[in-house]
Amino acid sequence: MVAVFDFNDGPGDNPDAPHSHPHEQITYVAEGQVRFFLGDETHELSAGDLITVPPDVPHAIQLLTRSARLVDTFSPIREDFLNDPDTEPK
């Protein structure tokens, strides 16, 4: 499953709350810059970068620019996204 997330409330003073899920995730930064927290690691990502998130690993982002567009790919499909009006599965 591929989902596009547009963020327009940056830059952030603090990261979002960490979360985890049983899905493998690949995040591609299409626009903007983010600080990506993955377990105990921190990564600075810009447009064109991607990062993989193994299942069940806590992760979060912090916007470093006013806006960012992230393209997330999940496997298996995120059933919870199918009923969420704020998520646009592709």
Residue with more model confidence, 73 or 87:
73
What confidence tier does 88 reach under pLDDT thresholds 50, 70, 90? low
How sure is the predictor about 83, in pLDDT bands with cuts at 50, 70 and 90? Answer: confident
* Cβ neighbours of residue 70 closer than 8 Å, sequence gap 6 or more: 4, 5, 7, 27, 28, 29, 30, 34, 61
Residue 89 has pLDDT above 70, yes or no: no
CA distance 85 to 25: 20
Q: Which domains occur in the chain, in start order? A: 2-77 (2.60.120.10)
What is the per-residue pLDDT across 8-49, written as a single tens digit (0 to 9) for each? 999 999 999 999 999 999 999 999 999 999 999 999 999 999
Percentage above 90 pLDDT, the chain: 86
Judged by DSSP in three states, 67 sits in coil
The pLDDT score that the predictor gives to residue 62 is: 98
